[in-house]
Structure 1
Amino acid sequence: MSIYKAKDYKELSRKAANIISAQIIMKPSCVLGLATGTSPIGIYNQLTEWYEKGDLDFSEVSTVNLDEYIGLDTANPQSYRYFMNTNLFDRVNIDIHNTNVPNGMAADLEGECDSYDNLIHMLGGIDMQLLGLGHNGHIGFNEPGESFEKGTHIVSLSQSTIDANSRLFESKEDVPKKAITMGIRTIMQAGIVLLIASGKDKADIVRDAFWGKITPEVPASVLQLHKNLIIVADEDALSKSPVTDNYTVLR
């Protein structure tokens, strides 16, 4: 894995956006796996700024998002489709028909999971997957458990995830309890995985996930096995890890 240390969230966002923009420039028709939540907002703002300056062209890019809440339609401000439209898709020249988010309102949710995996396969797989990191080590909505889930699946959200996401809702009771999420196998099959982490509250899980044992109890730990993992984290998030500067770990 390659690790890039940033001074703060602003620098982290710019470094990560640089990596994504390089992918788009090298392969204009690339497939990007995208994430939601507060962590990637700075990245999407930076990518939008470069697009507005004429430095980036999204016209041939396809995207697949990691996950979506079950029970929220696309017009709901808390849905991840709404988030992506607001924070990126409506701000750049991407073809909205080339953007994909799981359908949390599907009548056949199991069928939606299978269809999403088939879609990713038809696209040729994911060239670069952007990930955040949950406090309990979840990536996407792959929660701690007894095994690594392989394909897109339905998950019951852990209480810690519900608590963390409740800041975005009027009350904790309004947070959906289930979601559709891309599976670990699909994430691991991406050509490049780009994980971002910011803040002292992520320091413990960054250390445990990337310098601890590989276990489904810390889902992100499986990324230690990825052939091309890039971590961009700020000083606070790396404060408990054995990192002194940017470096690459050979495994």
Structure 2
Amino acid sequence: MRIIRVNDYDEMSKKAASMVASQMILKSDSVLGLATGDTPIGMYKELVKLYNNKEIDFSDVKSFNLDEYYGLSDDNTQSYHYYMMNNLFNKVNIKRENINILSGIAKDIEKECLSYDEKIKNAGGIDIQILGIGVNGHIGFNEPSVNFEAGTHLVNLDKKTIESNSRFFESMEEVPKSALSMGIKTIMQSKVIVLLANGEAKAEAIYKSINGKICPEVPASILQLHNNVNVIVDEAAAKLLKNY
């Protein structure tokens, strides 16, 4: 596990974008695993800049998103489909048929999840997977006590996750209580993983994930077993890390 300490959010975003861009330059048809939420927004802005400067090309790239809220349609402004189109896909030359995002309104959820893992496999696997981390140590929407062997599946969201996500909704009642998420097994099959964390609120989760025992109660701790993980943390998120 490689720990990359940076000064602030902007530096974290630029470093992450640089790693994704390098992957795309080395392999034009790279398969990207993408995350949502506040953390990667800066990275997406940097990738759009690199695209506008003609330094990277998305025309042969395929993407798979980590998760989607259950019950939200693609055009819902709080859906992760809407987020991705707004923050990245509508601003670069990625082909629509190469964009893969779980459907929050699929009639057969089990089929949707199994099909998603099959699509990733058929694409040759994810070359570089971007992750954020929740205050409870979740990655994707794999909450504490998750089954490490699970593929993509329907998840009941943890109370802390619902509270954290409520800032994006007008009321607590509107916050989805479940989501479709790549499972730990799916994430761990990625060739390279880049975990991003900024802010003091993530410090404890980062410490436990890197220095704690590997356990389902801290889902991100499983990343200790992956052979190519890069953790990019700003000084606030790294405040409890003494030996890095």
Is residue 71 from structure 1 mapped to residue 71 from structure 2 by the alignment?
Answer: yes
- Secondary structure at the aligned position of 2:231 is classed as strand
> In 1, Cα distance between the equivalents of 2:208 and 2:189?
23
Q: Is the 8 A contact 1:151 1:186 kept in 2?
A: yes
C-alpha distance after superposition, 1:3-45 (max 9, x if no partner) = 1111000011001111110000000101000000000000000
C-alpha distance after superposition, 1:74-104 (max 9, x if no partner) = 0001000000000000001111110100011
Counterparts in 2 of 1:149 and 1:169: CA distance versus 1, 3 Å = farther
| Structure 2: runs of 5 or more not aligned | none
Which amino acid is the alignment partner of residue 86 of structure 1?
Answer: N
> In 2, Cα distance between the equivalents of 1:227 and 1:150?
19
> In 2, Cα distance between the equivalents of 1:149 and 1:28?
31
- Secondary structure at the aligned position of 2:3 is classed as strand
**TM-score, structure 1 length as denominator?**
0.96
> In 2, Cα distance between the equivalents of 1:74 and 1:63?
16
- Secondary structure at the aligned position of 1:130 is classed as strand
Q: Is the 8 A contact 1:33 1:66 kept in 2?
A: yes
C-alpha distance after superposition, 1:80-133 (max 9, x if no partner) = 000000000000111111010001110001111111111111111100000000
> In 2, Cα distance between the equivalents of 1:146 and 1:98?
29
**TM-score, structure 2 length as denominator?**
0.98
Q: What's the counterpart of residue 141 of structure 1?
A: 141
Q: How does 1:49-198 map to 2 (within 5 A)?
A: 49-145=49-145, 147-198=147-198
Q: What's the counterpart of residue 205 of structure 2?
A: 205
Q: Is the 8 A contact 2:141 2:179 kept in 1?
A: yes
- Give the ranges of 4+ consecutive aligned residues of structure 1 lying more than 2 Å apart after TM superposition: none
Which amino acid is the alignment partner of residue 91 of structure 1?
Answer: K
> In 2, Cα distance between the equivalents of 1:135 and 1:102?
24
Is residue 224 from structure 1 mapped to residue 236 from structure 2 by the alignment?
Answer: no
Counterparts in 2 of 1:173 and 1:149: CA distance versus 1, 3 Å = farther
> In 1, Cα distance between the equivalents of 2:49 and 2:185?
33
